[in-house]
Amino acid sequence: MKLDIISSLTELCSVPGPAGFEEQVAECAKSMLEPFMDEVWTDVLGNVIGVRRCGKENAPKLLFDAHIDEIGFVVTGVEEGFLRFSRLGGFDERVIPATGVMVCTDPPLYGVISVLPPHIIKKKDAEKNFEIENLYIDVGLSQEEASRLVVPGTHGVFANEAKRFGESMFYGKAIDDRAGFVAILRALELLKDATLDVDIYVMGSVQEEVGVRGATTGAYSIAPDYCVVVDVDHAKTPDTKPTETNIGLGDGAIISRGPNMNPKLVEKIIDLAKEKDIKHQINVVATGSSGTNARAIQVSRGGVATALLGLPMKYMHSAYEVISLDDIEYIAQLLCETAKAMKGETA
């Protein structure tokens, strides 16, 4: 059965799984990964890990990683029936007022992050930035009911519908980085009948948004020789400057160069993209860290030859992240060709 990228992405994005509370999305990711792997398991932190063995003794290990957690919030208290909350991950207060949310009680509660309408807000307050300490979630309950149903420490996520739009665009919450995980699934489908010289490991890692914790422990456990991390990266919009980004949606996989990446592996991937005519873009990460799981995996144990493939995205860390479905396919093709090109050498 052919992998349906849209339905797979829609299903994954609809499941709540903010950093530290990934159990539901991990179960979903595990069920999607199992048809392509010889073995799949969940580790202590909650990483979903699978292996497809090539059948050759002492074969090098090639890891594909994408994180499955998302930004969200955790309830810290109840005030007049409204919920106080703190971040799980780095979202921007400017974009969340009047946004719908799901509070992960059993059954879930739905609500709206409250905001004063422009008709009554004072001019001096209208010019201020929103601060999370001054925001509340309205769940439509009294103080007594809210206190009974929502205990401090309850987590939640943005609530909206994931949807295709335009020619090949897709929006929703949690696309960062569940679209990366879907790209890996598509690569595994392309590799289904391929004879390989490496064991393929896949990790749907957790807690990336709060400090790449899942990747740190997962990579230590797997001890890969190579790793290709798949994560999102910023795409241009009319209000961005060329010095900020020239990355375009639908213009292909982003291959990053910089000290967080192994130069030999990166050049190998660039050569494959050119040879196989796979649409791609080059990005430079001049700082020591890419801000992705690559920063933890690269320095795991004695070091891992690591590369980073980016999925272009607009409106990152908002309730409506936007990608091109075409770029998922380009990344999948590049992952597939990378796996097939590994001929048994170690890093």
Catalytic sites, residue numbers: 208
Going across the sheet that includes 39-42, the strands are 39-42, 48-52, 199-205, 61-67, 226-234, 305-313, 253-257, 280-284
Q: Residues 240, 267: contact at Cβ < 8 Å?
A: no
Strand locations in 23-162, DSSP E?
A: 39-42, 48-52, 61-67, 72-79, 82-88, 100-103, 109-113, 137-138, 155-158
Structure tokens at 270: 């660039």
How far lies 266's CA from each of 248, 250, 284, in Å? 20, 21, 12
Residue the block writes with tokens 């569940």: 178
Instruction: Identify whether the C-beta of residue 18 lies closer than 8 Å to the C-beta of residue 89.
Output: yes
The vertex-181 CA angle with 47 and 62, nearest 5°, equals: 75
Residue 202 token pair = 């896949």
The pair of three-digit structure tokens given for residue 6, joined into one six-digit string: 């849209």
